[in-house]
Chains A and B, each alone.
Chain A
Amino acid sequence: MSGTAPAARWRGPARLVAQRVVLALFTLLLVSAVIFTISGLLPGDAAQELLGQGATSEQIAALRHEMGLDRPAVVRYLEWLRAIIGGDPGMSLVANKPVAEIISERLPNTLTLAALTTLFSVPFAFLVGITSAVTRGRTTDRALNILTLAMVALPEFLVATIAVLVFSVKLLWLPSITIVPQDPTPGEFLRAYAMPVMVLGVGVIAQLGRMIRAAIIAELDRPYVEMARLKGVSQRRLIFRHVLPNAVGPIVNAMALSLSYLFGGAIIVETIFSYPGLASLMVNAVTSRDMPLLQACAMIFCATYLLLVLIADTVAILANPRLRQG
């Protein structure tokens, strides 16, 4: 097996990854069907709703025809799907602008927020997870356990409220609304993002830190760790050279999971700090029942989640010699 030529050596993992890609695309297709069914078919008649209670049945029928609501569900789904894939999910019912245009204004903001939060929280999460795992059962671990346990359970709006109270109201350090000026200086940029990133980071650090601890501890219980200790391997070398390479799979999966959690948290955080991102846009779409916009937002979040999981799976495959060699 190990004697195979380099080209052939990658055939195994390539096939595995290709399988994952196909599976992810298939899942995304199913997800789109679920979202369309829930938001496009089940809620009843959009024409009726647009025209209100006073409309005559002729008016409704005319609008239904105009909107294409009188055609079979499958046809409507396929057209919707084609439009979404083509990058043009239609017109926003409320803003009277193409959904694509609205989203392209907002999406970069959310991605920036997510990227900054990831950058901020992942190192802390590793610190928490590794510290906790190596001090397992001792005071440090127990303190971290209770701290992270509490952090996971805090609602974002409580963290945000306290942060605003402390940093904006009492200390007057940071603005309570996140407005990023045009061409910000690094200082302005950091000031603007400090609070939303901190608030989102609290949850991510706690959750990811706990999962990293669990992944490392699962490895620490395996016989090869005892063997390494009996070889005289130092604690540092044990964690970094022996344990972490084997924990890569669960850890990257945990990272994908906490990043998807981050999108959920963004819904609250963007709203509280009046940050013009995709998540607060989606909340507006729900309030105004702007279905095309809502569907597009939902699809973006789901696609991002599946992409993250796909990346995590791929990394896990490449990190595992057994899978890597097919």
Chain B
Amino acid sequence: MDSLIRAARRLPLSGKLGLGLVVFWIVVAIAGPFVAPYPPGSFVNEEVFAGSSGRFLLGSDFLGRDVLSRLLSGARFTVGLSAIAVAIAASIGTGLALCAAVGPRWLDEILSRSMDTLISIPSKIFALVLVAAFGSSIVLLTLILALTYVPGNFRIARSLAVGLARLDYVEVARARGEGRLYLALVEVLPNMMRPLFADIGLRFVFIVLLLSGLSFLGLGLQPPDADLGSLVRENTSGLAEGALAIIAPAVAIASLTVGVNLLIDAATQGKAE
């Protein structure tokens, strides 16, 4: 913990800003709904697309609901679903990558071939096909998001793992008679954590953008649930007047994704250069 705080202190300004944003959104995702002034679904203001006021910090939306309350609950969906999806994607992708790196050659061939196939379907197209086929309930949506980014994570993790598995210290452990599980988990995995975390962070950003994009198109989270992308979509009619109801959630997404990007960039650069 101490070393984490020290590492955070050493971050450049952009990294500190990123860290601040990331921490802020994690806190919002956890505590947001408890501090929301109104239930997200209730109509509390006569005026639609109202501006900022003392009662409604971020104004009201196209139905007169409180934008701040809806944003707080939407952020939980966006951050939560994306985090779960990226965890699933990374576990599957990295798990398979380790199998490919220490397993027999044919397994590597099969896995790499299949992942190369999946990666040649652009991720948004792939997600659209999956949504069309399976619909977008919360569980399915999370799985779709995860599945879409398994091949990318696999590719990065495999190239890391294969590179490491060729190193002499793995060769020594192999010559000692160690099993494949030991090689994968004890010799290889610990040394790929840093670049892997950077990749997971980037993939989290992609997933947030994909989820928001899908919801913005009406293909993501379905009402009454709403993530940040849905909030942008439902308030598009307020665009002409520049309503806070559309600007706020869009800026919220951007501050989350930009924050993660800044943090990763600062954290990885400190070691690389």
Contacts and interface: CB of A to CB of B under 8 A. Distances in A.
Given A268-B216, A286-B128, A150 B250 contact: no
B118 A34 contact: yes
B245 to A, nearest CB: 12
A137 B269 CA distance: 10
Contacts of A149: 258, 261-262, 265
A20 interface: no
B217 A268 contact: yes
Interface string A129-151: 00000000100001001100110
Contact of B125 (A156, A263, A291, A306): A263
B232 A27 contact: no
Contact of B121 (A142, A294, A298): A298
- How many chain A residues sit at the interface, stated as a range, is 35 or more
A297 B229 CA distance: 24
B44 interface: no
Interface string B247-272: 10011011001101110010000000
Contacts of B125: 263-264, 282, 297-298, 301-302
A143 B132 CA distance: 41
A165 interface: yes
A267 B131 contact: no
A264 B129 CA distance: 13
B257 A155 contact: yes
Given A285-B132, A291-B132, A158 B240 contact: no
Interface string A228-271: 00000000000000000000000000000000110110011001
Nearest to A289: B132
B130 interface: yes
Contacts of B134: 42-43
Nearest to A294: B132
Contact of A306 (B14, B120, B253): B120
Given A34-B121, A38-B129, A158 B219 contact: no
